[in-house]
Chains A and B, each alone.
Chain A
Amino acid sequence: MLETLSLMGAGFLNALTPINLLMMAAGVAMGIIIGCMPGLSAAMGVALMLPMTFTMKPETGLIVLGAIYCGAIFGGSISAILIHTPGTPASAATAIEGYQMTLRGQAGKALFTACYASFWGGLLSCVSLYFFSPLLAKLTLKFMSAEYFWLSIFGLTIIAGVSSKSIVKGLMSGALGLLISTIGLDPITGVKRFMPSSYFAEGINTTCALIGLFSMSQVFILAEKKIKARAQATKFSDKMSLSREERKILRPTIVRSWIIGNLIGILPGAGASIACFLGYNTSRQFSKHKEMFGKGSIEGVAGSEAANNAVTGGSLIPTLTLGIPGESVTAVLMGGLVIQGLTPGPELFGKYAPMTYTFFAGFVLVQFFMLGIGLIGCRGFAQISRLSDAILIPCVTVLCFVGSYAIHKNIMDIVVMLSFGVLGYLMRKLDLNTAAVVLALILGPIGEKGLRNALRTSRGSISVLFSSVVCWVLIALCIFGILSPIFMNKLEKKAEADAAENAGGMDELEKLTEEDSV
């Protein structure tokens, strides 16, 4: 206990260095900009900024990525409130009440509520991050080679199933990623496998693949659509604040949404877009002012925003402890972790505990930066959110190119990134799952080592894969992973349908959620 407390204290001291504070501010600002632009997503932003973190210390790099993640989730609410277009799907529910408040001349209040609720949602989610992560990481100490194999399969079933329209297509995407991960030298015998040139000796560069699948593919998605002028951001003059009474009203809403968002975040496969609707609906159910819903309720805005930001801390728990990211953003974040040479699991809370606790402390501080920068910069960010796709297309392309080149200073990396960009575009058009491919590229080598080491110790007998209780638990979880989309889809549809009642019908809601996202 004392050791943990001293690690937490040391983490805060490390996180408070000027460079870390500067990076937090820059990351949050960048995240808010990315989040508030409809068409750009949190995953895309984190992928795009990943190469910039390579030369940084691991903890600083992770803090930057965490800051972009939190900033982007909050940033989506700015355009949702002011131009009625959620920057990310996680703010779709915020647009319902937020824009109504804007129409009533309360845009300042709506933005303050979103910022205030996001801050508390994110901050409270850090509590569970601190509390549950070490406990869950200890569990993985019992894992042997066979268990690691099943863990990688479980991770894939979860993300492939939940993020796809068709479960089989999602699993196919995961299997395709696993196959691509075998390109390169055999990790055990050193034999060349499926290598068109020696460049691929170390396998496919995961970062280039990430940038291609998430960011470059988005450029192609933007390029295929007619360029439209964005709606004018509403100018507002009302005060950005809440009265003491209003804050008192919001308190229970924020706590409820925190619990919802955190649980949704911890549950692998469910993301911020589900959490925001559940948070919104629950706030309505418990509200004493139900008549305000659909007309601009601060509780509705707070319910949605606290829930989607509470997902951030929650979703880091399975990512850091089990290596199972629950959604696209955390899959990219995990890529950043692996690229820094770190493996999710007990090591992060043992050998690398100082780094991990510095990241956690940074994640706490990021929430304060989000509150400050969000409140001060709202008006400016609202104008940026109107940036045309015509400007975004070449800018993001250049950043994708320079980002993938910066990793090894090799032009071939740009070729790989561009190829994955085209592949990602086609996959998204054909309802295949790019997040599953990325995760498979990360988990593939872990699964391969697990499988082959297990078979080597058992002299080729497959029974070793079914030899322990943990293996059977993981197999059961894999089955749950495959079946969970049925449950999740029902949950999401129900939450959306409930929210639609307040939004004035399904058409209105569909209009809000139709923005494509990674």
Chain B
Amino acid sequence: MKMKKTDIGVVVFMYIVCGYFYYHMTKLKASSQTYPRFTIILLFGLTTLYLIQMIVAAKKHGVESGVDEVFKDFQAAQFFVCLIAAILYLVCIYFFGFYISTVLFMAVVLLYLKVPPLYSAITVVVIVALIYFAFQRFLGVKLPVGTVMKALGK
């Protein structure tokens, strides 16, 4: 099997994680270092082993990008809209509370993904009702009200 360039990213990421944890581990008391040291050595060792495997594969079979395989049929715009919408949804929950944010988030994403408005409306109502009855009424979870809504309420 050929070496994939994308795996270089995996190796670099693992080494960075090892480095980060090692740096912070050295600041700990000796007795608290035992287990983190063991796991860092384990991850470092396995990553190095994988790096060796990659080098051997590159020498034997050559190198391929791997990007095409990883991101085959990747819909960049759709993916990033959904990701950013999820992040904004989180921010909105903090400010405007759960229900308003959920309705906004679902409406935006459903319409962006070209779900017909009627189906979108039904989906939003069903999900909000499900959460209200399952979480708020049945499980007694108090869902976030949001700082803005709290301030307006006062």
Partners in one complex: yes
Query: Could you tell me which A residues sit within 8 Å of B by CB distance?
Result: 52, 54-55, 166, 168-169, 171-172, 175-176, 178-179, 182, 186, 188-189, 191, 193-194, 219-220, 223-227, 388, 390-391, 393-395, 397-399, 401-402, 405-406, 409, 411, 414-415, 418, 421-422, 429-430, 432, 444, 448, 451-452, 455
* Chain B residues closer than 8 Å to A405, beta-carbon distance: 98, 141, 143-144
Interface residues on chain B, number (Cβ under 8 Å): 63
* Residue ID in chain A nearest B18 by CB atoms: A179
* Residue ID in chain A nearest B86 by CB atoms: A397
Asked if residues B90 and A411 are in contact (CB atoms below 8 Å), the reply is yes
Asked if residues B74 and A224 are in contact (CB atoms below 8 Å), the reply is yes
- Enumerate 28 A-B pairs (CB-CB under 8 Å) in ascending A order: A52-B134, A55-B139, A168-B46, A172-B10, A172-B43, A172-B46, A178-B39, A179-B40, A182-B21, A182-B36, A186-B28, A189-B32, A193-B25, A193-B36, A224-B73, A225-B73, A226-B73, A226-B78, A390-B115, A394-B105, A398-B106, A401-B89, A401-B93, A402-B131, A414-B90, A418-B87, A421-B86, A430-B10
Q: Is B50 an interface residue (CB 8 A)?
A: yes
Asked if residues B82 and A175 are in contact (CB atoms below 8 Å), the reply is no
Asked if residues B109 and A189 are in contact (CB atoms below 8 Å), the reply is no
Asked if residues A402 and B43 are in contact (CB atoms below 8 Å), the reply is no
Q: Which of B7, B98, B106 contacts A394 (CB 8 A)?
A: B106
Q: Is B151 an interface residue (CB 8 A)?
A: no
* Residue ID in chain B nearest A397 by CB atoms: B86
* Residue ID in chain A nearest B94 by CB atoms: A411
User: When chains A and B are docked, how far (Å) is the Cα of A188 from the Cα of B31?
Assistant: 9
Asked if residues A406 and B36 are in contact (CB atoms below 8 Å), the reply is no
* Residue ID in chain A nearest B42 by CB atoms: A175
User: When chains A and B are docked, how far (Å) is the Cα of A194 from the Cα of B25?
Assistant: 8
* Chain A residues closer than 8 Å to B105, beta-carbon distance: 394, 397-398
Residue among A166, A224, A227 with max Cβ neighbours from chain B (10 Å): A224
* Chain B residues closer than 8 Å to A191, beta-carbon distance: 28-29, 32
Q: Is B154 an interface residue (CB 8 A)?
A: no
Q: Which of B9, B75, B135, B141 contacts A226 (CB 8 A)?
A: B75
* Chain A residues closer than 8 Å to B115, beta-carbon distance: 388, 390-391
* Chain B residues closer than 8 Å to A55, beta-carbon distance: 139-140
User: When chains A and B are docked, how far (Å) is the Cα of A455 from the Cα of B17?
Assistant: 26
List 12 additional A-B contacts (Cβ < 8 Å) besides A448-B35, A451-B35: A54-B139, A178-B43, A194-B21, A223-B75, A224-B78, A227-B113, A393-B113, A394-B127, A395-B106, A397-B86, A411-B144, A444-B39
User: When chains A and B are docked, how far (Å) is the Cα of A451 from the Cα of B119?
Assistant: 55
Contact A223 B14, CB 8 Å, known A193-B28, A397-B89? no
User: When chains A and B are docked, how far (Å) is the Cα of A390 from the Cα of B123?
Assistant: 11
Interface secondary structure of A, over-half rule: helix
Q: Which of A193, A223, A226, A402 contacts B82 (CB 8 A)?
A: A223
User: When chains A and B are docked, how far (Å) is the Cα of A409 from the Cα of B42?
Assistant: 35
User: When chains A and B are docked, how far (Å) is the Cα of A172 from the Cα of B42?
Assistant: 8
Asked if residues A406 and B123 are in contact (CB atoms below 8 Å), the reply is no
* Chain A residues closer than 8 Å to B131, beta-carbon distance: 398-399, 402
Nearest-Cβ distance from residue A387 to partner chain B, whole angstroms: 9
Nearest first, the 9 A-B pairs at minimum CB distance are: A390-B113, A223-B82, A175-B43, A394-B109, A224-B79, A178-B39, A406-B141, A448-B35, A191-B32
Asked if residues A176 and B53 are in contact (CB atoms below 8 Å), the reply is no
User: When chains A and B are docked, how far (Å) is the Cα of A32 from the Cα of B132?
Assistant: 23
Nearest-Cβ distance from residue B91 to partner chain A, whole angstroms: 10
User: When chains A and B are docked, how far (Å) is the Cα of A455 from the Cα of B42?
Assistant: 18
User: When chains A and B are docked, how far (Å) is the Cα of A67 from the Cα of B42?
Assistant: 37
Asked if residues A179 and B89 are in contact (CB atoms below 8 Å), the reply is no
Q: List residues of B (33-66) whose CB comes within 8 Å of A's CBs.
A: 34-36, 38-40, 42-43, 46-47, 49-50, 53
Nearest-Cβ distance from residue B67 to partner chain A, whole angstroms: 10
* Chain A residues closer than 8 Å to B17, beta-carbon distance: 176, 179
User: When chains A and B are docked, how far (Å) is the Cα of A191 from the Cα of B32?
Assistant: 7
Asked if residues A395 and B43 are in contact (CB atoms below 8 Å), the reply is no
* Chain B residues closer than 8 Å to A176, beta-carbon distance: 14, 17, 43
Asked if residues B32 and A186 are in contact (CB atoms below 8 Å), the reply is yes
* Chain A residues closer than 8 Å to B9, beta-carbon distance: 430
Asked if residues A398 and B102 are in contact (CB atoms below 8 Å), the reply is yes
Q: Which of B35, B53, B93 contacts A452 (CB 8 A)?
A: B35
Contact A415 B90, CB 8 Å, known A168-B49, A182-B39, A395-B127? yes
* Residue ID in chain B nearest A160 by CB atoms: B46
* Chain B residues closer than 8 Å to A194, beta-carbon distance: 21, 24-25, 36
* Chain B residues closer than 8 Å to A388, beta-carbon distance: 115
Residue among A402, A406, A432 with max Cβ neighbours from chain B (10 Å): A402
Asked if residues B109 and A169 are in contact (CB atoms below 8 Å), the reply is no
* Chain B residues closer than 8 Å to A54, beta-carbon distance: 139
